[in-house]
Structure 1
Amino acid sequence: MSVYPVRSAGASMGLLNHFSAIMRHQRGHLFGWVPVCLAMGIGWFFSLPVEPSLPVLWGVALAVAGLGGIARALPESVSPFAIAVALILLGLLLAAFRAHSMTAPVLGWRYYGAVEGRVVALDRSQSDAPRVTLDQVRLDRVPPTLTPTRVRVSLHSKTPGSIQPTPGMRVMTTAHLSPPAGPVEPGGFDFQRHAWFAGLGAVGYTRVPLLGIAPPIGGEAALVLFRLRMNASARVRQHLPGDVGGFAAAITTGDRSAISQEALQDLRSSNLAHLLAISGLHMGLLSAVVFGAMRLMLALHPVTATRWPSRSIAAGAALIAATGYLALSGGNVATERAYVMCAVALCALMIGRRAISLRAVAVAGIIVLALRPEALTGPGFQMSFAATTALVAVFGWMRDFDGTVIPQRLRPVVAVVISSAVAGFATAPISAAHFNTIAHYGLIANLLSVPLMGVLVIPAAVLAAMLAPLGMEGLPLWAMGLGLRWILAVSEAVSGLAGARSFVPGPGGWVLPLLALGFLWLLLWQGRLRWLGCPAMVLALTLWHGVVRPDILVADTGTLVGVMTSKGRALSKEKGAGFIARNWLENDGDGVDQAVAATRWKDIDASIIHLSGKRAAAAFSGCRLGDIVIASAEVDAAQQWGCPVFDPSRLRETGALALRKSPEGWQITTAREYAGARMWNTKPKRRAGRQ
């Protein structure tokens, strides 16, 4: 009888020893998991159905401290797991702190009246209208305690007399404002959360002229840099008109307001839109140009070449240039992320460490997540770190490869092909998940365009910036324009090819997290168990392939209804609610426009009734058992019809709707239920709070 416990104990000891050996093999490679654990905690915070209370957050903080102490007492093979749990909880705390720090008034009703404020940002809306962001806001008859800190207004006025807004100018107009809208469908993009972290308390539009009531004021550093950016953008566009100038302004100052929608669409269809964003590619190329030029200059003199730490000096100069580029570009989230990654690499060079390594990428990820936890949910963060991590890992694996197989002259070409293919492969699922498109010829377009960015466009931009104070920027800008014309020509040609892009439906909520964990496990884990990441990625793609879109979608205002048919989603209107219609069709993986989708409405099931406007609601006589009525105007006689009715007052409580048909009837999911009760979607005070 006593032999069985011995065998059991021996087997247990064998498993423990095997586990300890596996964990010892990870020694020195666990740091890369730090930002992964932080990201898991941040994602957990954003997925919570209710806002965690202050006592709960204090309890989480105590748990983090306790786990940190416990980890020291645990065996070396087990302590990393305690640290991982602590980091996950710390990520949740970071996200909670950031969310609470962004607390500001949000408009609680639809407002029409005078709007006054100071211009702090200029851009263009998706409808290509100029758009201004204002701070120091004043609204008619709205007390300061209820006035949003920032509002964003699209300028649709075609009446002469509207002024051209400039940074710091105090302006006024008469505008329609409303609170930031919720998701266009349950589980869709949460603009309320995005607006909360952007500091926007209201958004809207105006159809009357914008009037200037005070010249540019305010000497804050942000406004000074804003003016510098806009002046630089205007100067670039003086030398390079049209889309070329808009492209040049976008990659030098971050101002995209001068590039046309047609050029933007071509860049997106050819997978070259990433060249517009000041991201890791631009920051890395600029730093590399400055670093290389400085090292070349120091190598020209024997003293500086042999006695000075030329590499550290060149890295310091590149860091200064990157910092200036960050300031000039406006410092948005994508550029900040790129700057952090670049700064980590340059600082590593300055102290004699390897600049490009997974540890450096991990440090950059930790810094970005600590400063802006909300960036985790955006495509920019996900695509940037996916591409960088994949490139560093792949080229790290290739260090042991016998390079003599590839001729010396072909190595740069091979490096460009491999880097473009790896970055494209790593970012393609993320891009498809967020933008619902796949550019089939993106690799070709990037191979024809990205090298030119490095050898002509960015060096010319650096030279133009150096000569601009002397008024001699014309020649380098001309050279820069040659490269950008080529890139625009490539994007137009590639996007015009048959089958240049296809559309895919949006994935379920678990697809991207599971895909990311499988991808990171494959790259970060050491040993044969790393291949367990492949089944996780396959499972994620399988879940994506099997996604089923809702049978019916209803806008939160009742102005638009979308019903799935055998030909695709049918829309109840061919015009109006264009943003909602575009998002629904994109999430379906449907490439048609709203007008085409509206022609399918005649094929829908008659049990879905959409009453558009007050007249339609007044003329409606009644419904049958099983019908569902969606009304865009308030309905007084809803109780007499004997069927479910969703009018604006009810939809304000539920948000957008998704309906699925089952044998038991309609299963209704509301955007409010899906998003939960969070601080960014909590209903603000209503009109009763006005004075």
Structure 2
Amino acid sequence: MHVPVASALVAYRQVQGMAEPGRPQRASQGIARTWPTGRTAAAGGFAPAGLGVWPTIGETLRAWLRAEAGPGRLLPWVPVAFGAGIAVYFAADHEPVLWVAAATALLLTLGAVLLRRSRLFVPALLIAAVAAGFAMATWKTARIGHTVLAKPLYSVSLSGFVETRDIRERTDRFVLRVTAMEAQRSDVRLDRVRLSVRKGTAPEVGSFVQLKARLMPPISPVRPGSYDFARDMFFQGIGASGFVMGAITASVPPDAGGLRLRYAAFMQGLRDAIDARIRATLEGDNRAIATALLTGRRDAITTPVNDAMFVSGLGHVLSISGYHMAVVAGVVFFAVRALLALVPGLAVGFAIKKWSAAAALVAAAFYLLLSGAEVATQRSFFMTAVVLIAVMVDRRAITFRTLAVAALIVLAVAPEALVHPSFQMSFAATLGLVALVQIGMPNLFASPDHSATARIALWGGREIAMLFGASLIAGLATTPYAAFHFHRVTPFGVLANLAAMPVVSALVMPAGLLGLLAAPFGLDGVFWWLMGIGIDWMIAVSRWVAALPGAVGRIPAFGSAALVAASLGIILMGLLRTPLRWSGALVLLGAIAWGLSVRQPDILIAGDGASVAVRGGDGRLHLIRATKDGFLLKEWLAADADPRDAASASLADGVSCDESGCVTPLADGRLVALALRIDALADDCSRAALVVTARPAPADCAAMVVDRQRLTRQGALALTRNGDGFAVQPVRARGADRPWSPAAAGEGDFDGSLAPKTAAPRNPDATPSEADLQAED
């Protein structure tokens, strides 16, 4: 998910020092001079020598602003504005009207064109870009619109074509394009469903099957502010998930299934063939990681190794991203150019550098298709393609303009990528790395002594310094997003990347590419063996770093507003060229303080009402649950920065249960009850301050109540004590109705608070709270 640190080195080496024969090399070749020189910076930021006095603050600020508005400075801000429009779309309560959004964007764009010679052109263009991003996201949702399952369905008869198949650690999973669907007491029709089956029983991609399945609605967020998997599934065209019941029967399809299905079957067969060749030499996690690096299938990696990779900061290696694309393109570029350079006539008379870039582009495109062309991989390919095309047309390759064009392409093709952690982390890291390439690397590679001896002596130090700097910058740039989405940071990520990434870049990936080339000739075994050696080293490094004291930096959950502020700070620091960029550091520091000061909820309630977490007097969550949902519990504990796991016995401390329900006290002594049976409601309503039930609650209940009707309308809830009552934060806010999370049918409207009806009794055995003691005084 991260853009890895070594991609900066690969990209820089790809364009630096690549002059054609007969053309002198320059230290700045391939580097865009978009950052001001020392003289320009002095003129824009400080008083020129000889004035004798400093200019006023106002004059200095105006000079900086003029420098920021100079030629070539606007383009990088256009994708920022475009992305802001997409963010506004996803923040809307209900679906916008497409023709209104499109007409607004068109009119604002026309206005910007008419104002192109005016001082208002820049703000007009940015406003038009915001409107265009909003309209593009609206159009994408309307274009792929499909039915989303609202209620569980049991014993559903399905028939259709298998489009994708995933091999996981314990089970397999596949996506079925539904051609026929029958369910009792339901006339819903779904386009695609994702089904789980026993390991090793998933049908072949492209086959036509008939089966029975239990279908569930897409997973909604397990707590307010957590990741929305239902949104992801909607943009993948999937309307439900579930599991197969009984046998899967292959049958004769009613039609051929289309060209797209035949292509998917061909690519899946190619991936299976590659995995079979790797399996002949490697096994276990080595095989799973090798397959993940080459084909994108990473679900078969065991949990301990997967956790160690992400805790150590090496998890980005498992997801095909900018690093993998950069290595593939770089290896092909240098290999092809070296082979062409062996022919003197070609090296002297032809642009072999451009030929090599074209070959690298073809290789990157094949790698995109082989790996499944997920959104993260598409983003990586577009970025790599823009760089290679720039080389082919004699343009500077590593620039902010390159990044801007790649971002615009990705957001135009897949607006939903903006809210995905992969996009956020990748572009944040890439922004930092591009700044490093344009600022630090030219100075790092410029040696005052041009003798061959001096260059050889300094080479190792420069490479290490550059890798360290790239690791540090990429790690810092991605930290806010890792903290927001995964509630953790990697304090030793730089150490892990410095130790492992050179081996991955120099051994693992090149050996994998050579193995692909040698496989048709039956000579690939030695390359998989070499790849396994490098993977062993990477796993050893990840386990060592993950075992270091303090390797897991847990961060409590915070709101998206703090993440937006952090993103703004990173953008300001990356795109501004004058000392104004340090305003971004102030914004970033403010965002960090904001995120760390967020108060955590006192009660978490699952969307099905079967699990409740209550913060007790010890400040930790205590769990009441009627079902075992490991994923939900893992997410709740991670968001609370709680190091305990789902099997911890301390999760049930202070919880009293019988067959009718459970109760546990809050920090102030008031009781929270989970009623599992109707006959428990009468007792709970008289004794507890808050009653949670998945059943309809009686109207005369004296306690505050969260019942089935409220949970159906609002989903999972987070409750924070507010006097004697609670402030309520739901997953689905009042009036929210989106295609991937449609509003529930039925009556009932709920506000954002719960207030007690009467003074609820407290637990007589509970320790008095500070508020109680103050009240008694």
TM-score of the two chains, using structure 2 as the length reference: 0.81
How far residue 551 of structure 1 moved from its aligned partner, in angstroms, is 1.2
Q: 1:455 aligns with which of 506, 512, 518?
A: 506
The 8 Å contact of residues 108 and 124 in structure 2, kept in 1 or not, is answered as no
* Distance 1:459-1:17 versus aligned 2 partners, 3 A rule: closer
Q: Distance in 1 between matches of 2:679 and 2:124?
A: 60
Of the structure 1 ranges 227-236 and 293-302, higher mean CA displacement relative to structure 2 is found in 227-236
Q: 2:282 aligns with which of 229, 240, 243?
A: 240
How far residue 675 of structure 1 moved from its aligned partner, in angstroms, is 8.4
| 1:613 is aligned to 2:676 | yes
* Distance 1:294-1:353 versus aligned 2 partners, 3 A rule: same
| 1:481 is aligned to 2:532 | yes
Q: Distance in 1 between matches of 2:76 and 2:154?
A: 51
Q: Say which SS state the counterpart of residue 246 (structure 1) adopts.
A: helix
Q: Say which SS state the counterpart of residue 74 (structure 2) adopts.
A: coil
Which letter does structure 2 place at the counterpart of 1:38?
F
* Distance 1:413-1:547 versus aligned 2 partners, 3 A rule: same
| 1:439 is aligned to 2:466 | no
The 8 Å contact of residues 309 and 315 in structure 2, kept in 1 or not, is answered as yes
> What are the superposed Cα offsets for residues 433-487 of structure 1, whole Å, 9 maximum, x if unpaired?
1111122222111111111111111111111111111122111111111111111
Which letter does structure 2 place at the counterpart of 1:604?
P
Q: Distance in 2 between matches of 1:329 and 1:428?
A: 26
Number of the residue aligned with 2:643:
591
How far residue 148 of structure 1 moved from its aligned partner, in angstroms, is 1.2
Number of the residue aligned with 1:7:
none
How far residue 69 of structure 1 moved from its aligned partner, in angstroms, is 3.3
Q: 1:72 aligns with which of 116, 132, 138?
A: 116
Structure 1 residues without counterparts, runs of 5 or longer: 1-13, 687-691
* Distance 1:33-1:145 versus aligned 2 partners, 3 A rule: farther
The 8 Å contact of residues 518 and 537 in structure 1, kept in 2 or not, is answered as yes
Number of the residue aligned with 1:469:
520
How far residue 613 of structure 1 moved from its aligned partner, in angstroms, is 3.2
Q: 2:314 aligns with which of 272, 295, 299?
A: 272
* Pairing 1:530-569 to 2, within 5 Å after superposition: 530-565=581-616, 566-569=618-621
Number of the residue aligned with 1:191:
229
Of the structure 1 ranges 78-87 and 253-262, higher mean CA displacement relative to structure 2 is found in 253-262
Q: Distance in 2 between matches of 1:357 and 1:600?
A: 56
| 1:95 is aligned to 2:137 | yes
The 8 Å contact of residues 284 and 342 in structure 1, kept in 2 or not, is answered as yes
Which letter does structure 1 place at the counterpart of 2:707?
D
Q: Distance in 2 between matches of 1:24 and 1:182?
A: 43
Q: Distance in 2 between matches of 1:25 and 1:141?
A: 61
How far residue 123 of structure 1 moved from its aligned partner, in angstroms, is 2.3
The 8 Å contact of residues 369 and 376 in structure 1, kept in 2 or not, is answered as yes
Larger fraction in helix: 1
* Distance 1:313-1:552 versus aligned 2 partners, 3 A rule: same
| 1:167 is aligned to 2:205 | yes
The 8 Å contact of residues 137 and 147 in structure 1, kept in 2 or not, is answered as no
How far residue 282 of structure 1 moved from its aligned partner, in angstroms, is 0.7
How far residue 117 of structure 1 moved from its aligned partner, in angstroms, is 2.9
Number of the residue aligned with 1:181:
219
How far residue 101 of structure 1 moved from its aligned partner, in angstroms, is 1.2
Number of the residue aligned with 1:581:
633
| 1:252 is aligned to 2:294 | yes
Q: Distance in 2 between matches of 1:226 and 1:252?
A: 13
Q: Say which SS state the counterpart of residue 278 (structure 2) adopts.
A: helix
Number of the residue aligned with 1:118:
161
Which letter does structure 1 place at the counterpart of 2:398?
I
Which letter does structure 1 place at the counterpart of 2:693?
A
Q: Distance in 2 between matches of 1:595 and 1:20?
A: 57
The 8 Å contact of residues 379 and 410 in structure 2, kept in 1 or not, is answered as yes
Q: Distance in 1 between matches of 2:123 and 2:488?
A: 38
Q: Say which SS state the counterpart of residue 280 (structure 2) adopts.
A: helix
The 8 Å contact of residues 120 and 167 in structure 1, kept in 2 or not, is answered as yes
* Distance 1:480-1:617 versus aligned 2 partners, 3 A rule: farther
Q: Distance in 2 between matches of 1:303 and 1:539?
A: 60
Q: 1:201 aligns with which of 232, 236, 239?
A: 239
Number of the residue aligned with 1:604:
665
| 1:659 is aligned to 2:722 | no
| 1:306 is aligned to 2:367 | no
> What are the superposed Cα offsets for residues 112-160 of structure 1, whole Å, 9 maximum, x if unpaired?
11333322222267x84322211135332479983211111122x48xx
* Pairing 1:497-516 to 2, within 5 Å after superposition: 497-516=548-567
Which letter does structure 2 place at the counterpart of 1:190?
D
The 8 Å contact of residues 574 and 594 in structure 1, kept in 2 or not, is answered as no
Q: Say which SS state the counterpart of residue 383 (structure 1) adopts.
A: helix
The 8 Å contact of residues 266 and 491 in structure 1, kept in 2 or not, is answered as yes
> What are the superposed Cα offsets for residues 37-90 of structure 1, whole Å, 9 maximum, x if unpaired?
111111011111222224532442343234323422522xx3211111110111
Structure 2 residues without counterparts, runs of 5 or longer: 1-57, 449-456, 656-663, 747-777
The 8 Å contact of residues 164 and 174 in structure 2, kept in 1 or not, is answered as yes
Of the structure 1 ranges 184-193 and 311-320, higher mean CA displacement relative to structure 2 is found in 184-193
The 8 Å contact of residues 177 and 192 in structure 2, kept in 1 or not, is answered as yes
Q: Distance in 1 between matches of 2:744 and 2:720?
A: 31
* Distance 1:504-1:52 versus aligned 2 partners, 3 A rule: same
Q: Give the paired residue count.
A: 665
Q: Distance in 2 between matches of 1:563 and 1:118?
A: 45
Of the structure 1 ranges 620-629 and 413-422, higher mean CA displacement relative to structure 2 is found in 620-629
Q: 1:518 aligns with which of 551, 569, 574?
A: 569
Q: Say which SS state the counterpart of residue 673 (structure 1) adopts.
A: coil
Q: Distance in 1 between matches of 2:299 and 2:107?
A: 48
| Identical aligned residues as a percent | 33
How far residue 287 of structure 1 moved from its aligned partner, in angstroms, is 0.5
Q: Distance in 1 between matches of 2:83 and 2:66?
A: 24
Q: Distance in 2 between matches of 1:208 and 1:136?
A: 18
How far residue 210 of structure 1 moved from its aligned partner, in angstroms, is 3.9
> What are the superposed Cα offsets for residues 373-417 of structure 1, whole Å, 9 maximum, x if unpaired?
100111100111111110110221125526438823322222222
How far residue 546 of structure 1 moved from its aligned partner, in angstroms, is 0.3
Q: Distance in 2 between matches of 1:531 and 1:650?
A: 47
Number of the residue aligned with 2:691:
629
Number of the residue aligned with 1:41:
85
* Distance 1:545-1:142 versus aligned 2 partners, 3 A rule: same
* Distance 1:647-1:283 versus aligned 2 partners, 3 A rule: same
TM-score of the two chains, using structure 1 as the length reference: 0.90
> What are the superposed Cα offsets for residues 289-327 of structure 1, whole Å, 9 maximum, x if unpaired?
000001100111110111110100000000011011111
* Distance 1:625-1:575 versus aligned 2 partners, 3 A rule: closer
The 8 Å contact of residues 25 and 526 in structure 1, kept in 2 or not, is answered as no
Q: Say which SS state the counterpart of residue 593 (structure 1) adopts.
A: coil
* Distance 1:654-1:408 versus aligned 2 partners, 3 A rule: closer
> What are the superposed Cα offsets for residues 565-610 of structure 1, whole Å, 9 maximum, x if unpaired?
3342111138612222211111111121123352234363264433
How far residue 420 of structure 1 moved from its aligned partner, in angstroms, is 1.5
The 8 Å contact of residues 154 and 183 in structure 2, kept in 1 or not, is answered as no
Q: Distance in 2 between matches of 1:675 and 1:188?
A: 19
Q: 1:84 aligns with which of 121, 126, 132?
A: 126
> What are the superposed Cα offsets for residues 503-555 of structure 1, whole Å, 9 maximum, x if unpaired?
11122121111111111111212322222111111110010110111111111
* Pairing 1:55-454 to 2, within 5 Å after superposition: 56-75=100-119, 78-113=120-155, 114-123=157-166, 128-141=170-183, 146-155=188-197, 157=198, 163-206=201-244, 208-213=246-251, 218=257, 220-399=262-441, 401=443, 403-404=446-447, 407-454=458-505
How far residue 246 of structure 1 moved from its aligned partner, in angstroms, is 0.3
The 8 Å contact of residues 684 and 691 in structure 2, kept in 1 or not, is answered as no
Q: Say which SS state the counterpart of residue 136 (structure 1) adopts.
A: strand
> What are the superposed Cα offsets for residues 233-277 of structure 1, whole Å, 9 maximum, x if unpaired?
232223211110000000101112332112111111111111011
Q: Distance in 1 between matches of 2:468 and 2:626?
A: 44
